[in-house]
A = this chain, B = another copy of it.
Amino acid sequence: MSKTGTCYRADHLLKDFCNEKIQKDLSISAEKAVELKHILAVLDDLSAEELGAKIKEYGITAPDTRNPLSDPYPFNLMFQTSIGPSGLSPGYMRPETAQGIFVNFKDLYYYNGNKLPFAAAQIGQAFRNEISPRQGLLRVREFTLAEIEHFVDPDDKSHPKYSEVADLEFLMFPREQQISGQSAKKTCLGEAVSKGIVNNETLGYFIGRVYLFLTRLGIDKDRLRFRQHLANEMAHYAADCWDAEIESSYGWIECVGIADRSAYDLRAHMDKSGVPLVAHEKFSEPKEVEKLVITPVKKELGLSFKGNQKKVVEALEAMNEKEALDMKSSLETKGEVEFHVCTLGETVTIKKSMVSISKEKKKEHQRTFTPSVIEPSFGIGRIIYCLYEHSFYLRSSKTGDEHLNVFRFPPLVAPIKCTVFPLVQNQLYEDVAKIISKSLTAAGISHKIDITGTSIGKRYARTDELGVPFAITVDSAASVTIRERDSKDQIRVNVEEAATVMKSVTDGNTTWADAWANFPHHSSGSAEE
């Protein structure tokens, strides 16, 4: 940015440079290729200085202007603002929505009858100060995130509905395949879980459900892959992480992340707030366990340490098992021991009379633990953008000199489920169209009514372009035709049946194939196009 003041993300520049070299420059040596691939692999771990050094070494310049670049510096991706009138309380716009669920864990656990597993889901706006927003909806500063936080016992990550998805087959791209330069392969989810490629059943269950969710929306299954994070991509605490990546004209886009984040989030909140965010498992019968018991004798300690007594007590109680057992044996042999109290910044002498240390057998009725969390996290805008690309196609008009735009949105997601129009403009057909419109409203089916005199072919083309899956054309007072968008096939149904048929094919209870099998077919003749 030396010359123009334009800023770039140093890691993105270096990544683009390496990818470009590896893919397009045939003159680079095998060693060079290995070096560049290594940089890509460790990119996220590089410091600002290391990034700067590599940029200088490779002579990378600004993408558009080829101007030289100044040294990189760290940049906070959170938007800062000031809360309240004083100007003294800085605030930040949330860069993710998930934390709200973690801080409410105690209440959520209680609402679920203090039982695991359970899940909480939410959807909301998040904000990141992207340095260079681009690629339409793919990289923006305000976006919609949705997550499910599924809390499980870390010792039991099975899932009761896992068998419902275990037989699914789709493109998976495990770590090993990526490192060895292979590409994503069609894989049976159940096998990937049983071989340990996917860390556990619950993680596998959500990978399967995300696959079903995306393909039901209309994402092309051949342009959807589940890519496992490389070791260096993954947060240190994560047990395993897979991204649902969708291929678009911008390449493979990360749209959903499905991660086993272990107990990290709950532990981090617990450490900062001091509030225990834990779950309990009641034993069917009490278990006998051996426990270390440290009992400071406060009276003795008080006599010796006066005002410092509390800090000494706390330090004694905070000893781990080894420290305590060492002290116990020293006290037994020597009668006293030197003990460093960090909070006092000094070493004190502990006498045998001041503390009792013993191992005791105790009966425990329950086990206390921090739950693990499995988190599918959805980038809503990205999914919608990819859905647009996968749903869009062109078809020739009848005369062939024109291309018509069509969105093949499935009935489930199409914002408008059907259009109603009279074949020609007359009062009778208009009245029938209005009756059908009312019955569609009563059935809760979103629709458009088009009583313009435009040719039927043009009106079909118009609703195809909006991705409306069905069109009801009124061409008599008793019966109407229903046309399916992609096949252009038409059936004939009675006016009274129209809304019921629509309801059934749009809410997924039946398919168009069922309707096609059950109703007389209608030939469009010259009406279409």
Contacts and interface: CB of A to CB of B under 8 A. Distances in A.
Interface-centre pick from A81, A83, A125 (highest chain B CB count, 10 A) = A81
A344 to B, nearest CB: 36
Contacts of A450: 113
Contacts of A215: none
Contacts of A86: 5, 7
A80 B83 contact: no
A140 to B, nearest CB: 12
Contacts of A93: 81, 93
B85 A129 contact: yes
Interface of A: 5, 7, 75, 79-86, 91, 93, 113, 125, 129, 131, 141, 450, 452
A83 B129 contact: yes
Nearest to A6: B86
A479 to B, nearest CB: 26
Contacts of A125: 125
Chain copies in the assembly? 2
A399 B499 CA distance: 52
B84 A129 contact: yes
B80 A79 contact: no
Nearest to A133: B84
Contacts of A129: 82-85
B85 A75 contact: yes
A131 B83 CA distance: 9
A452 B85 contact: no
Given A113-B452, A125-B125, A452-B113, A7 B75 contact: no
Contacts of A84: 7, 129, 131
A85 B74 CA distance: 10
Given A5-B86, A113-B452, 19 more contacts: A7-B84, A7-B85, A7-B86, A75-B85, A79-B81, A79-B82, A79-B83, A80-B81, A81-B81, A81-B93, A82-B129, A83-B129, A83-B141, A84-B129, A84-B131, A85-B129, A85-B131, A93-B93, A113-B450
Nearest to A131: B85
Nearest to A76: B85
Contacts of A82: 79-80, 129
A5 B450 CA distance: 62
A366 to B, nearest CB: 17
A185 B45 CA distance: 69
A240 to B, nearest CB: 29
A81 B113 CA distance: 43
A384 to B, nearest CB: 16
A450 B113 CA distance: 9
A83 B7 CA distance: 12
5 nearest A-B pairs in the assembled complex, by CB-CB distance: A7-B85, A79-B81, A81-B81, A85-B131, A75-B85
A81 B141 CA distance: 13
A328 to B, nearest CB: 45
Contacts of A80: 81-82
Interface-centre pick from A85, A93, A131 (highest chain B CB count, 10 A) = A85
A81 B76 CA distance: 13
18 contacts: A5-B86, A7-B84, A7-B86, A75-B85, A79-B81, A79-B82, A79-B83, A80-B81, A80-B82, A82-B129, A83-B129, A83-B141, A84-B129, A84-B131, A85-B129, A93-B93, A113-B452, A125-B125
